[in-house]
A and B are shown apart, each in its own frame.
Chain A
Amino acid sequence: MTVKEESQQQIDPNALTVVPLGHPWRLAAVVLVIVGVLLIVRSAIFNPNFQWPVVATYLFNPLIMNGLGQTISLTFIVMVLAIVGGTIAALMMLSPSKLLSIPAKAFVWLFRGAPALVQLVLWYNLSLVIKNFSLWVPGYGTVFSVSTNDVMTPMVAAVVALSLHESGYMAEIVRGGLKSVSPGQGEAAACLGMNPGLSLRRIILPQAMRMIIPPTGNETINLLKTTSLVSIIAVGDLLYSAQSIYARTFETMPLLLVVTFWYLAVVSVMSIGQYYLERYYSRDETRHQGGALAFAWRNVFRFRKNEVVA
């Protein structure tokens, strides 16, 4: 009976307030994390072995700058070659002819499957199995011949190995992107008299881009870091330059911190570039509010699931 009496209590809708659900464990976890971060920061600042002043002196060291330049240009060259190679492989994989699609699939299987480091060392040591590159025309003889050791410099080996490895990944990304475009789009283009090349360039690829750009951005960032592997075959990249300095001075930790700083700096710049590229290729989607940084910043202070901090 009491229940019934209670339920008949008069409710004034304007006087109602909501008591939000507390999240005590989430709060405890946040406190724990903040304490942990403070401890790490404190150790980084007050432990003299980090040698921050040494880090500062080497940050813009010409040798380091040169290595950074090598790393960036290697990433750029490899990525351009991988996009071209990957696109060709993707188009071959989508070909109705098995004689084109099977070799392309084998290419992806081989170069994506073998570890980048192994491929680097393999290409660098190519002269062990192939002594010379020569062009021989029947009835004329050898047109030219070069020693493999002269061609396969560390830089060339790095470009070849990483391009092939990355092409394998790009092929899958491009193929996925092309397949994501509805077949009706190609038919509509064909019905307007567009030939297959024009249709691919103007209709299919721009739509596939929306699916291709985000993973390609991730791949480029991964590749930037993967290029540090080339230090093992003595290409003068960022890591190799740092190693060559600390091999003399034994300032191992500060130089690795310099290397870390530069990798993080370039990755951050790339991430911002990727944000704007993605926004461009989804320009028909809902308009984005504010810039990349503003968006990221707003999200940091989200504590509850569906709460949007204005």
Chain B
Amino acid sequence: MNAVATHHNRFGIAPSTMVHAAGIRKSYGNLEVLKGVDLTVPVGSVACIIGPSGSGKSTFLRCINHLEEINGGLLLVDGDFVGYRLEGNKLHELPPSAICKRRAEIGMVFQQFNLFPHMTVLENLIEAPIRVRKEPIAKATARATALLQRVGLADKRDAFPKQLSGGQQQRVAIARALAMNPKVLLFDEPTSALDPELVGEVLEVMKDLAKEGITMIVVTHEIGFAREVADQLIFMDGGVVVESGHPREMIASPKSPRTKEFLARVL
């Protein structure tokens, strides 16, 4: 705990902050996708990011766990860098093994589920705890079984992903992310690839997680979900945060005309 506390002091960030992003910039070649994104996500809160496609919201999410390298700004998860080590005023790039250790604390759920198709549901869940955390198989299996129970798929533990519906696959993907006991869960449009009738079951699971106090950052098009579950709503457009605030207030009376226009289109 001491080490964590000193880190927080070093950057002057409250220990109650899970993700701290300030002035995040990211370019692909000449195309600047993120033009200075600021966001603070407190521990135990849910942040929903909405915005038109191409606004940079998914890219920003992928920067948080260092799937994408940022070109500028300060990005800290649980008070420390994900892909770098600070020495003096130089950021040293970490080797893959060290980045992986940090990434294991940041769960991610993808639009396309990305379950491992050659493994059963149970094997999907216990793979990382056994290979990365070196947990005993019995312990990992017990927790995986409990997690499957929680997402309502205890009877599918020996099925292969292909045999499940999209909604079931996404629930398995959420359970797989939870199996690593992450400090924060990132959702990248988790219901966008689902048939409309399957969206509800995934959102139900996510609502339960929010109630349990898991820190979540959700890129989504589900405004209803954001209104009901989010502690803060962030509207991104053109690589910047246009507006953020309490979801109910923001949806009822958006301040920026761009937010108003976007909400009018999706609601």
Judging by beta carbons under 8 Å apart, are A191 and B160 in contact? no
Does B10 interact with chain A (Cβ within 8 Å)?
no
Known contacts A284-B118, A284-B160: A194-B67 contact under CB 8 Å: no
Closest A residue by C-beta to B62: A187
Q: Are A207 and B118 CB-contacts (below 8 A) given A193-B100, A198-B132, A284-B162?
A: yes
B55 at the interface (CB under 8 A from A): no
B101 on interface, CB distance cutoff 8 Å = yes
Compute how far the CA of A203 lies from the CA of B105 in the bound complex, rounded to whole angstroms.
Answer: 20
Contact indicator A195/B128 (Cβ below 8 Å) = no
For chain A, the count of residues having a C-beta within 8 Å of the partner chain is 23
Closest residue of chain A to B159, judged by CB?
A: A284
Find the A residue at minimum CB distance from B160.
A284
**Cβ distance A91 to chain B, nearest Cβ, rounded Å:** 15
Within the complex, the shortest CB–CB distance from B3 to chain A, in Å, comes to 19
Interface size class of B (residues with CB under 8 A): 20 to 34
Main secondary structure of the interface of A (DSSP, over half): helix
How far does the alpha carbon of A194 sit from the alpha carbon of B108 in the complex, in Å?
Answer: 13
* Contact yes or no, A191 B117, CB < 8 A: no
User: Quick one: which of B129-162 are within 8 Å of A by CB?
Assistant: 131-133, 160-162
Given A192-B127, A194-B100, A284-B117, A184–B132 Cβ distance below 8 Å? Answer: no
Contact B127 A202 (CB under 8 A): yes
Q: Does B110 contact A (CB under 8 A)?
A: yes
Residues in A whose Cβ lies below 8 Å from that of B162: 284-285
A185 close to B116 (CB less than 8 A): yes
A210 CB contacts on chain B under 8 angstroms: 118
Q: Does the CB pair B114–A188 fall under 8 Å?
A: yes
Contacts of A203 on B, CB cut-off 8 Å? 116
Taking a contact as CB atoms closer than 8 A, the residue among A182, A192, A206 that contacts B180 in the complex is A192
Query: Is B65 an interface residue when CB atoms closer than 8 A count as contact?
Result: yes
- A194/B112 in contact, CB under 8 A: no
**Quick one: given A184-B112, A198-B131, A202-B131, are A192 and B176 in contact (CB under 8 Å)?**
yes
CB pair A195 B100 closer than 8 Å: yes
Contacts A185-B114, A284-B117, A284-B118; A191 near B103 (Cβ below 8 A): yes
Minimum CB–CB distance for A168 against chain B, Å: 28
- Chain B residue with the shortest CB-CB distance to A187: B67
Query: Contacts A184-B112, A203-B116 given: A192-B67 contact, CB under 8 Å?
Result: no
Q: Does B96 contact A (CB under 8 A)?
A: yes
Cα separation A194 to B107 with both chains bound (whole Å): 12
CB contacts (< 8 Å) of B106 on chain A: these are: 191
With beta carbons under 8 angstroms apart, the residue of A185, A194, A283, A284 that contacts B132 is A194
Judge whether B97 is part of the interface by a CB distance below 8 angstroms. yes
Determine whether A190 belongs to the interface, using a CB cutoff of 8 Å to chain B.
Answer: yes
Per-residue 0/1 for A190-226: is the Cβ within 8 Å of any B Cβ (1 yes, 0 no)? Answer: 1111111010001100110010000000000000000
Assess the B114–A193 pair: CB atoms within 8 A.
Answer: no
In the assembled complex, B104 has its CB within 8 A of some CB on chain A: yes
Contacts of B105 in A (CB 8 A): 193
Question: How long is the Cα–Cα vector from A210 to B177 in the complex, in angstroms?
Answer: 26
In chain A between 128 and 164, which residues have their CB closer than 8 angstroms to a CB of chain B?
Answer: none
Contact of A193 among B67, B104, B116 (CB under 8 A): B104
B84-118 with Cβ < 8 A to chain A:
96-97, 100-101, 103-108, 110, 112, 114-118
- Does B116 contact A191, Cβ atoms closer than 8 Å? no
Q: In the complex, which residue of chain B has the Cβ closest to the Cβ of A201?
A: B131
Which of chain A's residues have a CB closer than 8 A to the CB of B161? 284
Residues of B near A182 (CB, < 8 A) are 112, 114
What are the residues of chain A within 8 A of B116 when measuring CB–CB? 185, 188-189, 203, 207
**Are B110 and A187 in contact (CB-based, < 8 A)?**
yes
> In the complex, A284→B104 CA distance in Å?
27
User: Contacts A198-B131, A198-B132, A284-B160; is A191 near B118 (CB within 8 Å)?
Assistant: no
8 A-B residue pairs with Cβ-Cβ distance under 8 Å, sorted by A, are A184-B110, A188-B115, A192-B103, A192-B180, A194-B100, A194-B128, A194-B131, A195-B97
B-binding residues in A (CB < 8 A)? 182, 184-185, 187-196, 198, 202-203, 206-207, 210, 281, 283-285
Closest A-B pairs by Cβ, 10 of them: A193-B104, A192-B128, A188-B114, A284-B160, A191-B108, A184-B114, A193-B132, A195-B100, A193-B100, A195-B97
